[in-house]
Structure formats: C-alpha cells, structure tokens
Amino acid sequence: MPKKYSIVLFSDENIELEVLAKDKDLIVVKDAEGRMHRVRVLRESDERYMLYIDDKITSVGIVGDKIYVDLQPILVKKVKEYVSPVKVEERKEEKQIQVEEGVVTAPISGKVIEVKVMQGQEVGENDVIAVLESMKMLIEVKSPFKGVVEAVYIKPGVSISKGDKLVKVKLVK
C-alpha cells in the first residue's frame, strides 16, 4: 500500500509526500500539489546519501538527530507516516515504475545492444522494443503497451541505468 508522509519542520512548514512506487534505489513520490518526482537514492556512507531528484543532485547527511540537506541543517519537528488505501490499478503501476504515461523504462542497468523500434512504428503489447546487455546476459525489453512509438530515447552502445526512459508509446485503445 502506498505510504504517505507528513513532515513538519521547526519553521512550521508542512511537507506532504506520497510514495507511489519503490524499486531498489528508485522511488516515485507525489507532492501535495500532485507533481510526481523520481528520486534515486545512493548511500555513500552510514550518515551520507546522494539523492537524484528529477536528475538534480542533492546531498543529505544524518548526524544524530539532525538532518543536513546540501550542508544546511533542516530541523524536523515531527514526521508522521500513514498508509493510504490502494486501488487495484495502482498496484500495476508499482510493478512498472513510470513517471509519464506510455513511457517504457529500463528494467535493469546495462548497455543498449539493439533498438528494435523507431519513431512512428506501431507496437503491440509484449513486442520487443530493445535488447540490453547486463552481466554478460542479453535481456529483451518488451512493451507493456499497444500503440505508436512517439519517441525513442536510446541508441545502441549507450549505457543506461535501471529506470531510465527507453521509449514513449502513444497508447491506442
């Protein structure tokens, strides 16, 4: 079930976040205004983390009961965690982390070996859109959508990370 967090700072500023999807080091959160953000978390040490929030780097340090964001102390008064009811449709979104509708993301980090589609091409559900190499294995990435390829974000030889955009498909109903 999606978790929601209410964070109250000592400045009485209230921050509301909802975790929509989580997969190893990638989290998709929705803020109080309804905007979705991709957050990639990399642990550098026991007290230091690097957050890539929508591809912008933020350093977070935790020392005792103090939190530092980009070396500035953030004084948190209270954090409340609660679970929101989940709809069946949201569970499917958790499996395939997406920020935009129709975007197919990389299931694993690796290197693009072959791109099997091009812009304007029709694809069916489970059609192979790309072949990736990871740990000396070839992985076929299949489209979970039926539609027309709107954009191709990759090319052969490029290294990608888990969760990177591969292609965008304009959905056909």
CB 1 within 8 A of CB 84: yes
Which tokens is 153 given?
Answer: 């974000």
Task: Report the alpha-carbon distance of residue 112 to residue 115 in Å, rounded.
Answer: 7
Read off the tokens for 34: 């309804």
d(CA 74, CA 17): 17
Give the amino acid at 119. Answer: Q
Q: How many residues does the chain have?
A: 173
Q: Scan for tokens 């929101």, then name that residue.
A: 84
Q: Rounded to whole angstroms, how far apart are CA atoms 91 and 88? A: 5
The alpha-helical segments, DSSP class H, found in the chain are 88-95
Domains and CATH numbers, the chain: 3-92 (3.30.700.30), 100-171 (2.40.50.100)
**90: three-class secondary structure by DSSP:** helix
Four-residue CA torsion sign, 132, 134, 139, 144: negative
Q: What is the pLDDT of residue 95?
A: 43
Beta-ladder partners of 6: 16, 80
pTM here is 0.44
Distance, CA of 115 to CA of 118 (rounded, Å): 8
Encode the chain (173 residues) as per-residue pLDDT tens digits: 567 777 777 777 777 777 766 777 777 777 777 778 788 777 777 778 777 777 788 787 777 767 777 777 777 667 677 665 555 444 444 444 445 788 999 988 999 999 999 999 999 989 999 999 988 888 899 998 899 999 999 999 999 998 899 999 998 87
- Integer Cα distance of 109 and 161 in angstroms: 4
